[in-house]
């Protein structure tokens, strides 16, 4: 889909389209309404307080990957704050006890170490809900192979089945089973059904089951009714609350990365060097890896003018992909990458002193508003200048 972006946007810029974000929120609202599940935003995918007031109207809160995200959720989103990490340090747990309402541990050893602190906080009036993340042994990540599969062999995520009997179930309120990544409804329903089949004995001990993120609920083709039916069946069978905590699934296709061609270089092929960079601005392009869609461009050979699109860092592999265009690219042309609101600005770095992209909002009335512009100070402060 082509965004109606003003032509004078300064680049590089991550532009979040408020209307598209609202469209995505409507899916979350439907899931909540029809299934009775709670839906949280995983801020690891998208931490943008400027749009939290609108998201807060639908969602039940946020889920964090550690102290800083928990604090951001507490201070800028409100409602419920959940937090999970593969391991916490003692000072982190101490601070989390003032920030989060729900704390999920990854192992029997972390539980044993921190349960006394959590209980002591409870006695002083700040009651926390304790969860344990299990490894359900369910592989369904649709991208990135083992790199993005929480249940890949030797994964560090979640207590393994053989350790569950020894857990202090009297103190655990939530079973957490995050296993998906960009999964369609078959994956979501498959996970819910597998956990119901294989872990029934433990579900009987808790009040809620959190089926994590990775439910790609706003991806075209995702069968939302199937997810809703699976949640309803699970809730009816076990009488527990169900929680989902998607990140990407709430944000998919709701934003753009707008860049400008700085030069056309020739080395066997035409190479357009952009003012953006895979390495610093869209690291998932290299990590997953994948080739993002570009507005108006086709695959190599589909259109008459072929280009490799590359970043401006020193890293040889800082290449976004190979594309073709109807017309030759020239210096100053705009290149717009699709689906760039999730897992982009939250992961950006200033490697090479590369300027960070603006973060902007395309408002519903078509106006463009820069939320945050970064400068030399953001680079310099991080290296201690």
Ligand X SMILES: Cc1ncc(COP(=O)(O)O)c(C=O)c1O
Rounded distance, CA 83 to CA 69, Å?
8
User: Does residue 246 bind ligand X (CB under 6 A)?
Assistant: yes
Per-residue burial over 114-138, b if 16 or more Cβ lie within 10 Å, else e, is bbebbeebeeeeeebbbbbbbbbeb
Q: Which is nearer to ligand X, 213 or 355 (CB)?
A: 213
**Binding region for ligand X (CB under 6 A) out of 42-50, 66-74, 92-100, 261-269:** 42-50
Rounded to a whole number of angstroms, the minimum distance from the CB of residue 127 to ligand X is 22
Instruction: Enumerate residues 6+ apart whose C-beta is below 8 A from 338.
Output: 1, 253, 256, 292, 293, 294, 295
The answer to whether 212 contacts ligand X (rule: CB under 6 A) is yes
DSSP label at residue 355: P
Site for ligand X contains 248 (CB under 6 A): yes
d(CA 131, CA 243): 12
Check residue 245 for interaction with ligand X (CB under 6 A): yes
In contact, 378 and 356? CB cutoff 8 Å: yes
Instruction: Please report how the helices 18-35 and 224-238 are oriented relative to each other, as an axis angle in degrees rounded to 10.
Output: 30
Contact string (CB under 6 A) for ligand X, positions 250-289, x = contact: ----------------------------------------
Is residue 12 a contact point for ligand X (CB under 6 A)?
Answer: no
Using the rule CB under 6 A, which residue among 73, 187, 249, 292 binds ligand X? Answer: 249
Nearest in space to 214 (alpha carbons), one of 238, 232, 189, 242: 189
Closest approach, Cβ 123 to ligand X, in A, equals: 29
Over the Cα atoms of the chain, what is R_g?
A: 22
Please tell me the distance from the alpha carbon of residue 28 to that of residue 39, in angstroms, as a whole number.
7
Among 5, 16, 21, 45, binds ligand X (CB under 6 A): 45
The yes or no reply on residue 213 touching ligand X (CB under 6 A) is: yes
Of 141 and 261, CB closest to ligand X: 141
One residue of 5, 25, 28, 42 binding ligand X per CB under 6 A: 42
The piece of 2-10, 244-252, 301-309, 373-381 that touches ligand X (CB under 6 A) is 244-252
Tell me which residues touch ligand X (CB under 6 A). 42, 44-45, 63, 84, 178, 181, 212-214, 245-249
């Amino acid at each position: 889909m082509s965004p109606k972006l003003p032509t004078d946007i300064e680049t590089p810029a991550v532009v979040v389209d408020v209307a598209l974000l609202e469209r995505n929120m409507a899916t979350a609202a439907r899931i909540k309404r029809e299934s009775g599940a709670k839906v949280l935003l995983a801020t690891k995918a998208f931490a943008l307080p400027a749009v939290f007031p609108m998201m807060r109207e639908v969602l039940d809160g946020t889920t964090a990957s550690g102290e800083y995200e928990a604090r951001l959720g507490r201070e800028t989103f409100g409602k419920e704050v959940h937090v999970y990490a593969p391991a916490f340090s003692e000072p982190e747990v101490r601070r989390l006890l003032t920030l989060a309402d729900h704390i999920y541990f990854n192992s029997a050893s972390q539980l044993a170490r921190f349960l006394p602190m959590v209980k002591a906080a409870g006695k002083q009036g700040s009651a926390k809900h304790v969860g344990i993340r299990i490894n359900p042994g369910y592989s369904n990540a649709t991208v990135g192979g083992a790199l993005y599969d929480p249940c890949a062999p030797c994964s560090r995520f979640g207590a393994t089945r053989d350790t569950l009997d020894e857990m202090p179930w009297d103190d655990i309120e939530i079973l957490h089973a995050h296993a998906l990544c960009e999964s369609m409804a078959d994956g979501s329903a498959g996970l819910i059904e597998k956990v119901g089949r294989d872990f029934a004995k433990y579900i009987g001990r808790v009040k809620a089951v959190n089926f994590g993120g990775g439910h790609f609920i706003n991806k075209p083709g995702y069968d939302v009714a199937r997810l809703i039916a699976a949640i309803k069946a699970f809730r009816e069978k076990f009488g527990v609350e169900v929680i989902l905590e998607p990140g990407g699934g709430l944000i998919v296709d709701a934003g753009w990365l707008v860049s400008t061609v700085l030069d056309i270089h020739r080395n066997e092929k035409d190479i357009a060097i952009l003012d953006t960079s895979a390495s610093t601005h869209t690291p998932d392009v290299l990590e997953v890896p994948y080739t993002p869609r570009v507005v108006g461009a086709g695959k190599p050979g589909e259109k008459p003018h072929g280009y490799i699109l590359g970043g401006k860092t020193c890293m040889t592999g800082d290449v976004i992909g190979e594309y073709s265009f109807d017309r030759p690219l020239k210096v100053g042309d705009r290149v717009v990458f699709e689906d760039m609101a999730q897992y982009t600005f939250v992961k950006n770095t200033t490697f090479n002193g590369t300027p960070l992209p603006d973060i902007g909002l395309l408002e519903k009335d078509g106006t463009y508003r820069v939320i945050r512009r970064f400068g030399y100070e953001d680079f310099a402060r991080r290296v201690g200048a």
